């Protein structure tokens, strides 16, 4: 084989490998849709069921969009589920105490953002690793939510609060509109602003970014604040959808948001967190859960599969980074 043929073969192999790394996750999602459609053609592809899937993943997509911002920098946020739970409890307690709904929501959003900034202070300025820092605050926030609620579910919320999670504008659920607004906001932030470019620069090489004049500490601090803000929105929408508040209602967000972002890191950008990839990851999680429910698979098996997905996604994103 001549040198030219060898180079052509290597180029073809590289192109095929790059195509699979870029589009393989999307193709896997399409395959997943086809499998569930074939298994349950009477239920899965129906308009009502697909609408349910989108509505069910709305809160996860909101939370995961904020986590994406943090993970673009190479950090991690384990506390989003605890923040969502705490915000839900505080929102419910304020409304039950007679505070009007808009003000209760505003206070809760400030609380969530503040909780995220606390993470940022510990990690960006205190030198803690993101894993250790957010693990500690996750435990603390969960404890506060349990303490102030007495570990019980809060009911009796105002009727006008129900609209956020259960209302619709025409045929479109309002929670889906909130999800779209959150995704568009984060996409614009990451892809169209100087701040977004700085986030990606830090994720590529924090030391080089620092010496090039980027205030890496401030950028990371703001990233955690943004994550807390979107976790708060997710917690409020979830509380409205359940029409009640439980001190651990947001707990599943921690693993599911991480799984969605890691899945997204295997799509579109090789080994990098990106919002379109995160959205794809959220849809994969939602479709898989919905399809398994339709098939009658119990939640324990679904938890096992979620863990397997996280492992595979992390491995694939690591391989993509090495080959990029």
Residue range 128-139, pLDDT digits in tens: 999 999 999 999
pLDDT, tens digit, 9 for 90 and up, residues 248-302? 999 999 989 998 998 898 888 777 899 999 999 999 999 998 998 998 888 888 7
Single out the residue of 287, 285, 263 nearest to residue 274, CA to CA.
263
**pTM of the predicted protein model:** 0.91
Q: Is the model's pLDDT at 217 over the cut of 60?
A: yes
* 27-36, 40-49, 189-198, 267-276: which is most confident: 189-198
pLDDT of residue 1: 53
Q: Whole-number mean pLDDT of the chain?
A: 90
């Amino acid at each position: 084989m001549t040198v030219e043929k060898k180079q052509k073969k290597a180029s073809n192999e590289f192109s095929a490998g790059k195509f699979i790394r870029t589009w393989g996750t999307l193709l896997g999602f399409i395959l997943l849709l086809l499998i569930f459609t074939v298994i349950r053609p009477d239920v899965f592809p129906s308009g009502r069921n697909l609408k349910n899937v989108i509505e069910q993943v709305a809160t996860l997509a909101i939370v995961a969009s904020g986590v994406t911002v943090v993970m673009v920098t190479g950090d991690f946020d384990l506390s989003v589920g605890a923040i969502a739970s705490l915000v839900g409890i505080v929102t419910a307690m304020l409304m039950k105490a007679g505070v009007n709904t808009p003000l209760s929501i505003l206070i809760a959003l400030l609380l969530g953002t503040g909780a995220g900034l606390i993470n940022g202070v510990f990690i960006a300025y205190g030198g803690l690793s993101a894993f250790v820092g957010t693990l500690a605050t996750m435990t603390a926030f969960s404890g506060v939510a349990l303490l102030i609620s007495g570990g019980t579910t809060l009911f009796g919320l105002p009727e006008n609060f129900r609209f956020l999670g259960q209302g619709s504008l025409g045929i479109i659920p309002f929670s889906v509109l909130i999800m779209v607004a959150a995704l568009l906001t984060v996409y614009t932030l990451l892809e169209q602003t100087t701040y977004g470019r700085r986030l990606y620069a830090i994720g590529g090489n924090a030391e080089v970014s620092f010496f090039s004049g980027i205030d890496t500490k401030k950028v990371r601090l703001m990233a955690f604040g943004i994550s807390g803000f979107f976790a708060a929105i997710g917690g409020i929408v979830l509380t409205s959808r359940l029409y009640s508040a439980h001190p651990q209602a947001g707990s599943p967000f921690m693993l599911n948001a991480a799984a969605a972002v890691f899945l997204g890191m295997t799509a579109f950008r090789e080994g990098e967190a990106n919002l379109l990839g995160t959205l794809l990851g959220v849809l994969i999680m939602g479709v898989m859960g919905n399809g398994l429910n339709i098939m009658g698979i119990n939640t324990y098996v679904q938890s096992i599969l979620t863990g397997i997905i996280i492992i595979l996604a992390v491995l694939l994103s690591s391989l993509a980074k090495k080959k990029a």
